Structure 1
Amino acid sequence: MNAKNVLILCNDYNAPFLSVAKEYASYLNNTDHDAIVVFLKGQKDPAIENEVSAKKVIFLEATNKELGGFKGKLTEQIRKLHHQYQFQFIVAHRYRAIFIATQLKDIQVFGVCHIDGNFKRLSRKLYIRFFGKNLTLIGVSKAIRDDVRKSLPFIKKEKIVHLYNSLDFETLRASLLDRSAAKKALAISETEYCFINVGRLHEDKDQATLINAFALALPQMPQARLYIAGAGRLESALKHQVEKLNLQEKITFLGKVPEVFRYLRAFDCFVLSSIREGLPVALLEAYAAELPPIASLCSGNTEAIEDVTEGFEVGHPEQLANLMIKRYEMSPVETNQLIRRLNDKLELSFTNAAVKAEFWNIVDPKTN
């Protein structure tokens, strides 16, 4: 039997969308479907091409101008690919991809929404109302699903669903460095208790609250150190904040670390201080490393840590400081209990196998 082609259309391959492309392509493994992965933006990169397990990976290398407005050139390129590959359906990530995919007529589109507020703009509401006949929207958490339903009340609820992000945890864990090797690679002391934050240096990730919380907690955590991995426009402002608090010897900016997840076992606690998240891949990677988490109670974070651990209100450094102290003082027995809950949550909700079954239930209910 000839394989059926499925288009996985992504805005680009920046984090987390390379992971997302790999994840959705994997759902087609061992089925009679093949993935054709298309990145609208980003230069052709053989390393990216090799990393995605797909029948074909295509880089359209769109300019910012081409990604704006009605995106006519990109739509025509996707239409030609459809003529060539005869896609059975399209999985489109982010609004730009959803907009382009729904320009094709008489093909089912599954639009994946990774963050809240996707459809607050009136122009987007109107577009979906008039051109979303063949569209099903998928939030990466129940919170994102509910946000989309609130924004688009004219769409039937069964056409707006949720599907968690997943990871191949077995493969991911096999690639992790052990604790000693990871510490050596990052020049981290064996005697410190190390907190790690991973993410863009951006308002959405709110590292400013994390730094303030660490400053509040530090007097009760003499052996603690905070590491921040990531790059972004707030780097200078955050480093200035650290200098004002005179914490240069206690807070280290690692910059952008390639495959940072491989080093997570060097740390003792993962902290996510975001003000908004869909379902954070970085947190799932911390789960793979069995790293005790602390996370803000925003949208997707809340679902990710439910039944695992408590969280803190967005933008509240005092609450975060208390949780950091609590984690710092946690006994080995308590830590092991938390890790067991973490692994139970992982197996129930976030493994590739669990989410793959839900994916096919959404795109082709007849298979279940």
Structure 2
Amino acid sequence: MKRRIKVLQLQPDFNVKHHSFADLAEQIVLSLPASDYEVVSAFLKGRPAGDDPVSRAERSVYFDFSDAQLKGARLRALWRLFRFCREERFDVVICNRFKPVNMMLLLNRWLRIPLCIGIAHNLGDYERSYRRRQVSLRADAHWRFVGVSAAVRDELIGYGSGFTPQNTVAITNAIDIDQAESLQLDRDAARQALGLSATARVIGTIGRQVPVKGYRYLVQAFARIADRHADAQLILIGDGREHAGLKDEVARLGLEGRVLLPGMRPYAMQYVRAFDVWIMPSLAEGFPLALLEGMSGRLPVIASDIPSMHELVAGAEGLLVPPTDVDALAEAMDCYLAVSPDELRSKGGRCYNYLKAHHGISEYRAAYRRLIESGLRANTEGER
């Protein structure tokens, strides 16, 4: 019987989603058929509670490290992880985010796992010189690095600190479009659930309400067009440390009832079709899954013209605006609110078609399989 390739996917925190359409760690698990791979999911912190879902991997491991154990020298945590990997004899370790990457950069000097993959999820993940220095000192032929967009990959290579065109690739984020669509309520049901009028022109988004998302500029921009579009509403679903400040800004601008902040909603993806336009005024992103989610609802998009979103939005024929530019945001919303519902639906259909052609989950899964196969082959041949 053929020996299966043994893969560990290591994550900093337990955060498995009920639905896997945009849970990309789980999509990596699903990309590796059980006939050829034995996959273990491991989490440095946290574990499922109550009815929380568990990983689709064959086995899950919860280290339950505290924050204190993962800071500083981390000797106890490193020793436990070392013993675990030594006993399991993995062929591949996939590290999500810097902390797991940093730990395995050190430990693989002794473990000699044939292939380690480090995934960078955001621009700026390696902005700190300390992080770049770890890669420069410790990334050897066993390592490959992945940026979740071409912009993230290019930033990594540009550092010149152990990231090279040979060991660093882009595997662009994607979603399971069919699963995402199956979770979405139809327009009328979604609007009823959110308390929206059936006849309103709704611009909306879903995401964490933190400064980098640029929502304060969005509220200010909506204030400039609200009088010209009496039937328009803006809805921002989500929560975060800026939620209270956004409520204050809405009150200051006299937009109560026009700008809605319903807070966090479970399974918020189901409400996408309540919107007529999807908007993302982010100041920075690695590669925003939320934008793909909006496009899966067949919505036209407005987004900030930043490296990680430019190609996607331009290809989908959406509207790009400079980040923090309130005038440009207002103009873009004005543009879409001025066209007929049929034309908006047509624009949304083009966004959806672009999403299907370029960001479906099949290619994402295949790209990780190719990376693992080519990395193992190269390292095996190199040791002969």
Normalised to the residue count of structure 1, the TM-score between the two structures is 0.92
Structure 1 residues 367 and 305 mapped into 2: Cα distance closer, same or farther (>3 Å)?
farther
Q: Whole-Å Cα distance in 2 between the matches of residues 179 and 29 of structure 1?
A: 37
Instruction: Tell me the equivalent position of 2:382.
Output: none
Match of 1:118 among 125, 134, 137: 125
Task: Determine the C-alpha separation between the residues in 2 that align with 1:100 and 1:62.
Answer: 13
Query: What is aligned with 2:271?
Result: 263
In 1: Cα distance, 2:189 partner to 2:216 partner: 30
Aligned position for 2:167: 159
- Which stretches of structure 1, 4 residues or more, deviate above 6 A after TM superposition? 15-18
Name the counterpart of 1:348: 357
* Count of paired positions: 367
Contact 2:133 2:161 in 1 (8 A): no
**Whole-Å Cα distance in 2 between the matches of residues 268 and 31 of structure 1?**
44
Contact 1:210 1:273 in 2 (8 A): yes
Matched, 1:338 2:330: no
Which string of whole-angstrom CA distances, capped at 9 and with x for unpartnered residues, describes residues 137-191 of structure 1?
A: 1111011111111223553212121111121111221121111221222222112
Larger C-alpha radius of gyration, 1 or 2? 2
Cα shift at 1:311: 0.7
Q: Give runs of aligned pairs for residues 236-251 of structure 1, distance below 5 A.
A: 236-251=244-259
CA distance in 2, matches of 1:177, 1:44: 28
Pair 1:234 & 2:242 matched: yes
**RMSD value, Cα:** 2.3
- Distance of aligned partners of 1:39 and 1:19 in 2 relative to their CA distance in 1, 3 Å threshold: same
1:69 maps to 2:77: no
Q: Which residue of 1 aligns with 2:369?
A: 360
CA pair 33-184 structure 1, distance change in 2 beyond 3 A: same
Corresponding position of 1:327: 336
One of 311, 318, 322 as aligned partner of 1:313: 322
| Residues 316/132 of structure 1: CA separation in 2 closer, same or farther (3 Å cut) | same
* Alignment correspondent of 1:57: 60
Distance 1:168 1:330, change over 3 A: same
Range with bigger deviation, 267-276 or 181-190: 181-190
Matched, 1:218 2:218: no
Give the Å deviation of 1:244: 0.8
Q: 1:96 to 1:153 in 2, by over 3 A?
A: closer
Cα pair 1:36 1:55 within 8 Å, conserved: yes
Rounded to whole Å, the distance in 2 between the matches of 1:180 and 1:312 is 30
Q: Which runs of 5+ in 1 are unaligned?
A: none
Q: Distance in 1 between matches of 2:31 and 2:181?
A: 19
Q: How far has the Cα of 1:254 moved from its partner?
A: 1.4
Cα distance in structure 2, aligned partners of 1:303 and 1:288: 17
With structure 2 as the length reference, what TM-score do the two structures score? 0.89
C-alpha displacement of 1:318: 0.8
Deviations 1:75-120 (A, max 9, x none): 3333233234322211111111111222332222111111111222
Partner of 2:381: none
Q: Structure 2: which 5+ residue stretches go unaligned?
A: 378-384
Aligned 1:169-318 pairs, distance under 5 A: 169-308=177-316, 309-318=318-327
What is the rounded CA distance, in whole Å, between the counterparts of 1:15 and 1:143 in structure 2?
Answer: 26
CA contact (8 A) 1:269 1:292 kept: yes
1:15-30 correspondence to structure 2 within 5 Å: 19-29=23-33
Aligned residue number for residue 35 of structure 1: 39
